[in-house]
Structure 1
Amino acid sequence: MKHFVAVYGSLKRGYGNHHLLDKACYIGSDTLTSLSLYNLGPYPGALAKPSDGVTVEVYAVNDPLLAMLDELEGYDSGAEKTSLYVRRKIQTSHGLAWVYLYNRPVRSGQYITDGNW
């Protein structure tokens, strides 16, 4: 396992896509004040904007699993401008981790004030 990934939505424990992380190693949770969370209906999206904190779970994943997460999140490293999410490194209390940031405009009414989807 060579990558850390911080997840904040449907990949968290108890949510619909968590099964994709069955072979990942759970590292721990954190609250990231460098992100803001938005409710996009069936899933949330985070932006790199300060907030009171977004609750994330950090996992260690291998290359094939990271590629699968890229596909789930609609991330294409060769076409970032048209990707639904972009993948960026962010500092967590467990070290640097990839996080998927929403790559579309959001409305202020979609903001999740408590940082937990």
Structure 2
Amino acid sequence: MNTPPLAIARTPLVVVYGTLKRGLRNHHWLQGAEFLGSDRLTTATLYDLGPYPGAKPEPSRGVEVEVFRVNARLLTNLDRLEGYQVRQPKRGTYDRAIHATTFGPAWLYLYNHDIAGCPAIREGGWPAAGSPHGN
């Protein structure tokens, strides 16, 4: 998606799909962010990595996500949590890319490493019902 960087820089939106979701163990990293709502992305597939999921830019039937408006400080803190390396994004744990949401273009953290043997989540959300991973 071609979105002018200035539009994103003014009011960055972030898509979360794992431990950053409301009620899960890392949500406190989003303290001060504005929750815009839930959405379903068909431009990403989640992979259950055990204690957290990773997204890959692959078509899906709709994975459940939450969208937040963040400021530059919160985005920097999320980058640190997700192991995003600004100068070498493909070398970090996660890269980030703009994906379309019903709330506008938003950053989505994409997992950089191998997902061989990890269960794919092509519809619904993480953690799966009854999974111990989310808390």
Fold similarity call, TM over 0.5: yes
Provide the aligned C-alpha RMSD in A: 1.3
Aligned letter for 2:114?
P
Task: Report the equivalent of 2:30.
Answer: 21
The secondary structure found in structure 2 opposite 1:55 is strand
Percentage of matched positions with identical amino acids: 50
CA–CA distance in structure 1, aligned partners of residues 72 and 122 of structure 2: 33
Q: Structure 1 stretches of 5 or more lacking a match? A: none
Q: CA deviation at 1:37?
A: 0.6
Picking from 82, 93, 100, the partner of 2:102 is 93
Aligned residue pairs total: 117
Task: Report the equivalent of 1:81.
Answer: 90
Give TM-score scaled by structure 2 length. 0.82
CA–CA distance in structure 1, aligned partners of residues 90 and 16 of structure 2: 21
CA–CA distance in structure 1, aligned partners of residues 44 and 117 of structure 2: 14
CA–CA distance in structure 2, aligned partners of residues 74 and 109 of structure 1: 20
Q: Structure 2 stretches of 5 or more lacking a match? A: 1-9, 127-135
Moved more, 105-114 or 91-100: 105-114
Give TM-score scaled by structure 1 length. 0.94
Q: CA deviation at 1:108?
A: 5.0
